[in-house]
Structure 1
Amino acid sequence: MTEVSSRPTHVLVVEDECLIRMMVVDMLKDAGFAVSDAPHADAAWAILEQRQEDIGVLFTDIDMAGSMDGFVLAGRVASAWPHINLIMTSGRQRIPDGEVPDSGRFLSRPYRPADLMQVIRKTI
């Protein structure tokens, strides 16, 4: 939960690897966050169109199949909903925080649960 609100921050997790997505969702829920998840960017976009008002953080993998990868998704989210904080991850690429759209953050995979929590807390 955030310290400034009694409502938990809502995180949208976008990850095409099912086991990783389930692990991240469980970690975030255990830490007190509200969580939605999507297996690819297209599904995430559909969720965002319905729930953009309550989502505070987009946590997306970069390398995904579909009409857009995580980098394109993050750029579109930054343009459409600048109030949504961005965190990108990848096990294949390294991106400096300064290259993540909208002053977002990058978390290299593999990461420890404590690393994920630290990045999310710094982001919100």
Structure 2
Amino acid sequence: MGQAQPYQATALIVEDDIMQREMLCLLLEESGYQVIQCESAEAAERVLEESAGTLCLMLTDVQLAGRMNGVELAYVAKDRNPKLDVVVTSGRPLMQPLPNGAKFWAKPWAPLDVLREAELAQLA
């Protein structure tokens, strides 16, 4: 018999700025997360359709490429998985209400904030 694979938490990163997306992915991967990255809300919506129940964290920017923004994506994510830890970030004030349980982080945020949130998401 083969050994069982250890549980690896999965995060979804949705950011159209490639530098920020890569930095977030690297930070979470080095913390033991499996990471799925998307540059648009539409791509993330497809991931959520297939894998929402396996995710424990989604971090998204408000401004994204495509027709849907990060706040709208947060509603989709919470609808698909109400327990999902959802963080929406922006360098501008948030102009739309977030779904219940989602959090807003103003940019710039610190890498330590991401690591803390990742740890909380795993415990939930």
TM-score range (shorter-chain normalised) is: 0.7 to 0.9
Report matched runs for 1:1-124 at 5 Å: 6-94=6-94, 99-124=97-122
Does the CA-based 8 Å contact 1:8-1:32 persist in structure 2? Answer: yes
Name the aligned partner's letter for residue 9 of structure 2: T
| Structure whose alpha-carbon radius of gyration is higher | 2
Alignment partners' CA distance in 2, 1:94 and 1:117: 23
TM-score with structure 1 length normalisation?
0.83
Unaligned runs of 5+ in 1: 1-5
Count of paired positions: 116
So what's the TM-score if we normalise by structure 2? Answer: 0.83
RMSD after superposition: 1.7
% identical aligned pairs: 28
Measure the CA separation in 2 of the matches of 1:36 and 1:80.
Answer: 17
TM-aligned CA deviation for residue 112 of structure 1: 1.6
Q: CA deviation at 1:94?
A: 4.6
Runs (4+) off by over 6 Å: none
